[in-house]
Amino acid sequence: MNTRLSRLTTAMLAAAVVFLTSVRSWAIYDVLGPSKDEWGLKYDVQINDAGGNNVTVVFTLADEGRLKPLTTIELYAFNPQTDEQGGHSYDVKQTIELKPTKDGRRVGQVQMSKKFVEKAKIRILTKQVDGKLQQPGFADYEIPIKKFLNKNPASSSIASPPASKNSRQ
């Protein structure tokens, strides 16, 4: 029996496994731009003072729209300085866990430092847009939270959010 062929085959198989596994773990996001209906999402964002140097960001989701089903919702803010490879680290990165309410909506909240509010965004990740699987990776819809800074919490109602321009990071 030729063991050399067996070792070559084993090495090729190991290399293929490493490559295929790493491809699935890369953070490949296709950033979605604005659409006429903002992808059918119906949501609300409130920013409340949490005392000290912190704010609480409350995200309420009424309808997942054309991005259904959502995979992950997170609050993030990039550090403006780049590393030697041109990448950014996060100043803030927290997953927003949504819990159902009595009226059928889902609500989640996280806290962060006030100094990151201007550059923070809510990132919604999904593997499907309009029912079509995204290849490779995820579709990424971003909501800058600074546009909700001066919003009156008493006038909060769920509706399609105002149109905004999303930029690729």
Provide DSSP, 93-133.
EEE---EE-TTS-EEEEEEEEGGGGGG-EEEEEESEETTEE
Distance between CA atoms of 36 and 101, rounded to whole angstroms? 28
Mean of the per-residue pLDDT values for the chain? 81
Residue 155's pLDDT is what? Answer: 47
More confident residue, 73 or 165: 73
Give Cβ neighbours of residue 51 (< 8 Å, ≥ 6 apart).
none
Ramachandran category for residue 85: left, alpha or beta (phi over 0 → left; psi -120 to 50 → alpha)? alpha
Question: Closest Cα partner for 95 from 118, 70, 117?
Answer: 70
Position 24 confidence tier, pLDDT thresholds 50, 70, 90? very low
Averaged over 51-62, what is the pLDDT?
95
Averaged over 125-154, what is the pLDDT?
85
The DSSP secondary-structure symbol of 154 reads: G
Residue 151's pLDDT is what? Answer: 74
Looking at the chain, the whole-number percentage of residues with pLDDT higher than 90 is: 48
Distance between CA atoms of 77 and 91, rounded to whole angstroms? 5
Distance between CA atoms of 41 and 102, rounded to whole angstroms? 20
| Burial of 63 (C-beta count, 10 Å sphere; 0-12/13-18/19+) | middle
Position 71 confidence tier, pLDDT thresholds 50, 70, 90? very high
Question: Residue 91: CA atoms inside 13 Å, Cβ hemisphere, count?
Answer: 16
Position 20 confidence tier, pLDDT thresholds 50, 70, 90? low
Averaged over 88-116, what is the pLDDT?
95
> For the chain, where are the alpha helices, taking DSSP H only?
3-25
CATH code matching the domain that covers 29-153, chosen among 3.30.70, 2.30.130, 1.10.260, 2.60.40: 2.60.40
Question: Residue 93: CA atoms inside 13 Å, Cβ hemisphere, count?
Answer: 7
